[in-house]
Amino acid sequence: MKTNKAYKKRIKVTKNGKVLARAKGQNHYNAKESGNDQHGKARYRAIKWANRIKRRFLSGVK
């Protein structure tokens, strides 16, 4: 199965296989957000997936 390239660009996989993704809603319309909200969106968050789902989206990611 092919890797979902659009989703691959939004995540990173750690050395131990943990999947991290950016918080949603951080690309635009952030001028009205407080500084704390903007800083919180900049962090990566861990995603918990079943191996079946992980294999579907990340078959070619290392």
Burial annotation 3-17 (CB, 10 A radius, 16+ → b, else e): ebeeeeeebeeeeee
- Does the 5-57 domain belong in CATH 4.10.410.60? yes
On whether the CB atoms of residues 40 and 58 are closer than 8 A, the answer is no
Q: Where are the domains of the chain?
A: 5-57
* pLDDT tens profile 14-56: 888 788 888 777 878 888 989 998 888 888 888 887 888 777 7
Confidence (pTM): 0.56
In angstroms, the CA 26 to CA 43 distance is 10
